Amino acid sequence: MAEAVPGAHQGVGEPSLIDLIERSAELKAKLVTFAQSARFDRWLTPLLLEAAGPERQLDEGEAIRIIDHFILRYRLPDGSTVVDRFVAGRKDLTAVDREMLLGWRDPVEGIFEIQRKEKDAVVLLNLVDDLEYRTYSNAGRAAFRGVSKGSFLHTCLVPVHSAGGVWLVSGAMSSYPKSSATEIAQAALHLATSRPELVFRNPAKIEQGWQRMREDRAAFVEFFGGDELVLPPAEAKDLLNGYYCHRQEAAIIGQPDRARGRRLPGLDLPFFELPGELADSDTIGVIYDQVDGLNFYADYGMLRDLFADPALAGRKQHQDLLRTYLREESIAPLPIRRLAAAYPEPADVVFRKLLRKPGFTWSEHGETLLRRYKPWYYENEPRPGVSVIGDRLSRLAAGRR
């Protein structure tokens, strides 16, 4: 008899949890074989070769992670995933099979602390999103035999959609002992800051992130006198490090007990380092927007000069820079919107010359232009630019069990 799972109500004729887990193993084996067939070789092989490096060495765990990511999340040229194509091509799949497989396209990646074991399951706390996951393996109880309460796992989880609140290990699973807590916390912090979308699986963290960002932006505006700066790179770096030092000091004053004994970082220990493409530019723009957060833009001074003096629109250098801002996927609409709002009439002249459209006006056509060049920006809900970590990860990072 299958054990009861909170939130999972088995009706007459519906598969049990045990049935679903066994079926997941069968489907995953067929899916892996499908993904490793010749039809996908042109996309999968380069990913494996890149990970192997010049030495052409790749351990089994890393290879499994890459293949699992390729199956579930890699976007093929038509925008579909391997899972999509597998489901589309198999007419023998039941509705439950399809629901399960398509649910796997949204896996949970994280670093997990084992809270407890419950029969065949383990209850995991994701240190990145601060949520608990009741987790099984389609390899059975043996998959968790070597792990214990308080130890850690690095893995991906996929949902069993017909059993709410139940998750399966997907791909490789690496385990770490309790003694590795400090290193684990640093790895989780890196994930949380470099990939904030992982944090925002937790709806509570989204609202907390917006609140923290509003507070930080207000402090930025108070410190600098506005939410936009245009400076040479070296000066911008020094000022930003001064700002972060000021914020650190303010936090320590506000919570002296937590900060006792910690050295205040100064400019000899910078918080902020400019990446090469910014450090090499003549000026950088620093904009702390209410929605888009804190962003940095290369040669923003030259772009601002173009909008302030549309006669510059005839110069190739200025036209090329505006084209870069318009076409580059890593640049959101924010800087162009800002400058068009600050210089509305010159903006019309600039874009008429750039696009060779004498009837163009920013008020009428500007948003359509941005949507054409930057559809990715409009496809997703805005997310705060500040990741908020949970209390457990905070304690681990501070060295407190």
CB contact set of 90 (below 8 Å; sequence gap of 6+): none
pLDDT (mean) for 338-346: 96
pLDDT (mean) for 20-31: 93
The 10s digit of each residue's pLDDT in 156-197 is 999 987 667 899 999 989 999 999 999 999 999 999 988 888
Say how far apart CA 385 and CA 135 lie, in whole Å: 30
What integer pLDDT is reported at residue 262 of this predicted model? 45
Lowest-pLDDT choice from 10-19, 29-38, 219-228, 240-249: 10-19
> Is the pLDDT score of 323 beyond 90?
yes
pLDDT (mean) for 108-135: 94
The 10s digit of each residue's pLDDT in 42-71 is 999 999 999 888 888 888 889 999 999 999
> Is the pLDDT score of 154 beyond 90?
yes
> Is the pLDDT score of 253 beyond 70?
no
Say how far apart CA 126 and CA 152 lie, in whole Å: 10
Looking at every residue in the chain, the average pLDDT score rounds to: 88
Question: Is residue 5 very low, low, confident or very high in pLDDT (cuts 50, 70, 90)?
Answer: very low
Share of the chain above pLDDT 70, in %: 91
What integer pLDDT is reported at residue 90 of this predicted model? 93
**Do 280 and 315 form a contact (C-beta atoms < 8 A)?**
no
Lowest-pLDDT choice from 91-100, 285-294, 365-374, 377-386: 377-386
> Is the pLDDT score of 9 beyond 90?
no
**Burial of 121: CB neighbours in 10 Å, binned 0-12, 13-18, 19+:** buried
What integer pLDDT is reported at residue 271 of this predicted model? 65
The 10s digit of each residue's pLDDT in 237-252 is 899 988 888 887 776 6
Indicate the fold that domain 108-199 takes in CATH: OB fold (Dihydrolipoamide Acetyltransferase, E2P) (2.40.50)
Share of the chain above pLDDT 90, in %: 70
> Is the pLDDT score of 270 beyond 70?
no
Q: How many CA atoms lie within 13 A of 349 on its CB side?
A: 13
Amino acid present at 390 = G
What integer pLDDT is reported at residue 7 of this predicted model? 40
What integer pLDDT is reported at residue 4 of this predicted model? 37
Query: First vs last Cα of the chain: how many Å apart?
Result: 38
Residues in the chain: 401
CA angle 207, 212, 213 (to 5 degrees): 95
The 10s digit of each residue's pLDDT in 198-239 is 999 999 999 999 999 999 999 999 999 999 999 999 999 899
Lowest-pLDDT choice from 8-22, 55-69, 90-104, 306-320: 8-22
Domain ranges of the chain: 17-103, 108-199
